[in-house]
Amino acid sequence: MRCVDASAFVVQVNSNYLKLKAGYLFPEIARRVKAFSLSHSDKDLIRLGIGDVTEPLPLACRQAMKQAIDELGTEAGFHGYGPEQGYLWLREIIAKSDYQIRGCDVSADEIFVSDGSKCDSSNILDILGTGNRIAVTDPVYPVYVDSNVMAGRTGNAFDTGRYEGLTYLPIDASNNFKAQIPEQSIDLIYLCFPNNPTGAVVSKEELARWVAYAREHDSLILFDAAYEAFIQDKDLPHSIYEIEGARHCAIEFRSFSKNAGFTGTRCAFTVVPKELKGQSITGEIVDLWSLWNRRQSTKFNGVSYIVQRGAEAVYSSNGQTEVKSLVSFYMENAKIIRNDLLQAGYSVYGGEHAPYVWIKVPEKMSSWDFFDFLLEKANIVGTPGSGFGASGEGYFRLSAFNNRLNVEKAMQRIGDL
Ligand code: MLT
């Protein structure tokens, strides 16, 4: 019998995936929580880990979605493939209500409707060259890092969990969770404000310094504004386009997930201004808008008609009232978490303009020690700061997305520890 080399029949995998450290943070937490639940089925777990909304979808959105379903059941109202970029009526209302009203010069055709900021902030790498120098804050939303690893834009991981080839901008209590603007030249910079995970915010002046840096170094800022609706201070910027010059250096990601409860329904959008330019390997100047439009037309078929009608209803007068009340509800949760933790003696950050409260874990405990401690002793699920990056070690994130009773119960349990 001939011995066959099995490897001859095995497809090659993307080896970059093998560089990834452990599982993606939230599935890893889910795995640990599941293991705990199996052996403690009597425990009433309170989940303040992943930032997933809990309150029902706004009535205005549900009504619009129901009506859209009925339309699809008629010959005149049926829709097959929609535009890959999103329906114009949704892009127009977004441009007007989220941007033009704030004095930002963003037009409907610069808005690309999608099924999530997580996907868009990863997919954007498709149109960007592999030679770019990339900076992320540390801690950071893990998707930015992992998607670069998967795309082969980093080297291997160091023992710290950081990856060779990425520039990390540490943020912690000593710099008030504001990254220092790099001294060296960086091509791609990921910024997220209000920040996930720390809840930190950026002022217009601070953001203007990032824009000035990007203009000076011909860099591109990937600005994640998925949590802008949670801003409580009218002087803080909701969009990077409130800063002069940002149209030349920034792409912005926005989402309906957290403000309107679309985490399960899926709708978001990305703004790619027409001024943005990049360079090909041969030195040719290319529009990023055209590349993203090409990318979406080829790889994406748009968000469902029903969901886009639901998203459109967010901007109706009832929709706006309901969304404001959802945001206030979660922000009241954040306030309860902040105040009760402060009272329990913790150092607490964020939670004032963001649905995330970032806390310092007790001395001598690591972030994962504290995760296990809270899970076992208080049956509360949170997110270890180290899961967001090496500089998140010693911190812990609690999400304000839950119902009031659970938030109050969780704070009571922490107070009793
Ligand atoms: C989080 O908990 O950080 C968020 O749920 C992440 C996300 O929106 O993908």
Q: Which of 141, 146, 147 to mutate to test the pocket of ligand 1 (most atoms within 8 A of CB)?
A: 141
What's residue 63's pLDDT? 98
Evaluate if residue 28 carries a pLDDT over 90: no
Q: Which atom of ligand 1 is nearest to the CA of 383?
A: 2
What's residue 409's pLDDT? 98
What's residue 241's pLDDT? 98
CA distances from 165 to 109, 122, 149, 381 (A): 35, 17, 10, 33
Evaluate if residue 153 carries a pLDDT over 90: yes
Which residue did the predictor score with more confidence, 161 or 269? 269
Which residues is 358 bridged to in the sheet? 349, 397
Average pLDDT, the chain: 95
Alpha-carbon span 231 to 354, nearest angstrom: 7
What's residue 309's pLDDT? 98
Banded pLDDT at 159 (limits 50, 70, 90):
confident
Ligand 1 binding pocket includes 118 (Cβ within 6 Å): yes
**Which domains does the chain show, CATH number per domain?**
22-51+323-416 (3.90.1150.10), 60-316 (3.40.640.10)
Ligand 1 mean position to 162 CA, how many Å?
Answer: 20
What's residue 26's pLDDT? 81
Mean pLDDT of 127-133: 96
What's residue 25's pLDDT? 81
Evaluate if residue 42 carries a pLDDT over 60: yes
Which residue did the predictor score with more confidence, 30 or 416? 416
What are 194-244's pLDDT values in tens digits? 999 999 999 999 999 999 999 999 999 999 999 999 999 999 999 999 999
Banded pLDDT at 8 (limits 50, 70, 90):
low
What are 353-406's pLDDT values in tens digits? 999 999 999 999 999 999 999 999 999 999 999 999 999 999 999 999 999 999
Ligand 1 binding pocket includes 291 (Cβ within 6 Å): no
Ligand 1 binding pocket includes 51 (Cβ within 6 Å): yes
Q: Which atom of ligand 1 is nearest to the CA of 399?
A: 2
Alpha-carbon span 390 to 177, nearest angstrom: 14
Banded pLDDT at 148 (limits 50, 70, 90):
very high
Evaluate if residue 96 carries a pLDDT over 80: yes
Mean pLDDT of 142-163: 95
Mean pLDDT of 299-317: 98
Evaluate if residue 2 carries a pLDDT over 80: no
What are 249-266's pLDDT values in tens digits? 999 999 999 999 999 999
What's residue 4's pLDDT? 56
Ligand 1 mean position to 78 CA, how many Å?
Answer: 34
CA distances from 299 to 83, 124, 348 (A): 12, 12, 42
What's residue 5's pLDDT? 65
HEC profile of the chain: CCCCCHHHHCCCCCHHHHHCCCCCHHHHHHHHHHHHHHHCCCCCCEECCCCCCCCCCCHHHHHHHHHHHHHHCCCCCCCCCCCCCCCHHHHHHHHHHHHHHHCCCCCHHHEEEECCHHHHHHHHHHHCCCCCCEEEEECCCHHHHHHHHHCCCCCCECCCCCECCEEEEECCHHHCCCCCCCCCCCCEEEEECCCCCCCCCCCHHHHHHHHHHHHHHCCEEEEECCCHHHCCCCCCCCCHHHCCCHHHCEEEEEECHHHHCCCCCCCEEEECCCCCEEECCCCCEEEHHHHHHHHHHHHCCCCCHHHHHHHHHCCCHHHHHHHHHHHHHHHHHHHHHHHHHHHCCCCEEECCCCCEEEEECCCCCCHHHHHHHHHHHHCEECEEHHHHCHHHCCEEEEECCCCHHHHHHHHHHHHHC
